[in-house]
């Protein structure tokens, strides 16, 4: 196995473990939320006939984070589903953020700068229209 000097450093190894756990937990939590939302949706609407004759887009309350959170608080199944998908999208963004913090703690400024650019691009693509 090829180990570079960076991966042999115990602090780097701890960062790798934290980032791996963050991804694992994020995916498990988001999948659980999606499963809960899907279960609620099927219990409430599973017997309804499908209406294929007209396309209806997402309701306006599911097009913003505030609307999605509001639906989650009201236990609306579609809001819970959307929230699960938001968590799934947020998971790698959080990984990049924690990488940035970890590299800053290690004072590895080249990686801090590179990670900051990646984080800025991710945030711009998610929040910028």
Q: Give 41's contacts (C-beta < 8 A, 6+ positions apart).
A: 77, 78, 81
Average pLDDT over residues 75-102: 93
Question: Is residue 1 in a domain?
Answer: no
The predicted model scores a pTM of 0.78
Percentage, residues of the chain above pLDDT 70 = 92
When divided into structural domains, the chain yields a total of 1
Question: Is residue 4 in a domain?
Answer: no
Question: Is residue 3 in a domain?
Answer: no
Question: Is residue 53 in a domain?
Answer: no
Question: Is residue 95 in a domain?
Answer: yes
Question: Is residue 54 in a domain?
Answer: no
Question: Is residue 89 in a domain?
Answer: yes
The residue range of the domain holding 116 is 10-47+59-127
- The residue with greater pLDDT, 10 or 68, is 68
Q: What average pLDDT does the structure give for the chain?
A: 88
Question: Is residue 23 in a domain?
Answer: yes
């Amino acid at each position: 196995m090829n180990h570079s000097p960076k991966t042999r450093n115990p602090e780097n190894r701890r960062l790798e473990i934290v980032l791996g756990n963050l991804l694992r937990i994020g995916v498990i939590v988001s999948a659980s939320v999606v499963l809960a939302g899907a279960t609620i949706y099927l219990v409430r609407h599973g017997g309804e006939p499908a209406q294929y004759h007209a396309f209806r887009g997402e309701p306006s309350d599911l097009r913003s984070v505030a609307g999605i959170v509001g639906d989650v608080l009201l236990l609306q199944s579609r809001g819970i589903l959307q929230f699960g998908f938001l968590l799934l999208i947020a998971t790698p963004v959080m990984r990049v953020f924690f990488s940035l913090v970890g590299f800053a703690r290690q004072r590895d400024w080249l990686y801090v700068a590179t990670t900051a650019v990646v984080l800025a691009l991710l945030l711009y693509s998610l929040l910028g229209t």
